Amino acid sequence: MPKLNELKKIIELQEYISKYAKKKLFSILKEKVHFDLTETENKCFNELIKYGVTKFPVTFYNEAKYLMEAYVKERIHPMVSDKEKSLRNASPARASETGSDYWKFCSFSDEVIFSIFFKSSVLKIISNYYGSFAHFRRVPFIKSHTFNSAIHSKDVSTVYHTDYSINQIGVQMLLTDLKKDDSHMIYLKESHKKYIAIDRRLNANDDECKEQNKLLELKYEPYHLIGEAGSLFIFDNGNGLHRGDMHEDTRRNIMQVSLSRGDYKAKVQDREPLKIELSQKLRSAEKVYQESVKFI
Ligand SMILES: O=C(O)CCC(=O)C(=O)O
Ligand SMILES: [Fe+2]
């Protein structure tokens, strides 16, 4: 239970937050969908509704191992030449701010990435959450990063924020094991119900940020995106508060991708590089999979 002076600060913070609150309504009328799920998938879906974050019931252990070998350690891997044409660097400025020495956008056409998204119920769970088809807003990225507070103290995603503009859902897969004292994402459970919008740029001062993080963690229960390699998390980062909790001398390897309800068309640099191959692969797939790549 927080102490009285902490409660007072929480209330002040809440008032500060609501000044910037925006309730983004699902404005365009969408085709309503609902997919049948197994009992465990349904449990996962219900958790997403309740907490704004959930762990997918399947762990993609072999897939994570493959992605580490084929991408992050690409320079020593024989498959690299096949992949080269589909890999794109993320913003070098953001990469250096976040301590990423490997941060690349890749293709859904990769057999393993394809199987994770188009042969599982990940997209069905997210579509059920939206109540309409989920659409990828860009291709997935694979990121390997360390953290050094002296260099990276300006990393904006270490401050609690929501990515509120496009009703975004994030999917993050761990490519190697992560423990609580490794760098990882923290999501504040049930904060997605409050329609909070904190602009990251409003939090310039480090001490102020730390204080704000502490207060929010008293108000909402933190959910740590940690676990074994291949763990896959789904989170409503459009509405819920989250941040990267960075620890020095640790390395995080992840694959991440984000989705929207289709209110957003991917920028040229975020689109699928092997679009024709991907369309062919999806030709006889269920509509939920075909729809998901419509805007990339
Ligand atoms: O896990 C992190 O470093 C935070 C990233 C983030 O803010 C996001 O994916 O929306
Ligand atoms: Fe975010």
Convert the pLDDT of each residue in 139-151 to its tens digit.
999 999 887 776 6
Which parts of 199-292 are beta strand (E)?
A: 222-224, 232-235, 242-245, 252-260
Task: Say how many Å lie between the CA of residue 51 and the centre of ligand 2.
Answer: 16
Residue whose Cα lies nearest atom 4 of ligand 1: it is 244
Decide if 206 contacts 267 (C-beta within 8 A). Answer: no
Candidates 3.30.70.270, 2.60.120.620, 2.10.109.10, 3.30.300.30; CATH matching 32-292: 2.60.120.620
- Please state, rounded to an integer, the average pLDDT across all residues of the chain: 84
Q: Does residue 163 line the site of ligand 1, with CB under 6 A?
A: yes
d(C-alpha 118, C-alpha 121), whole Å? 8
Q: Does residue 59 line the site of ligand 1, with CB under 6 A?
A: no
Q: What is the pTM of this model?
A: 0.88
d(C-alpha 257, C-alpha 270), whole Å? 11
pLDDT band at 167 (very low <50, low <70, confident <90, very high): confident
* Residue to mutate, 98, 224, 242, 252, ligand 1, most ligand atoms under 8 Å from C-beta: 242
Q: Does residue 244 line the site of ligand 1, with CB under 6 A?
A: yes
The per-residue pLDDT for range 176-194, each reduced to its tens digit, is 999 999 999 999 999 988 7
Decide if 138 contacts 88 (C-beta within 8 A). Answer: no
Residue whose Cα lies nearest atom 7 of ligand 1: it is 157
What are the tokens at 245?
């909790």
Q: Hunting for tokens 């694979």 — which residue is that?
A: 142
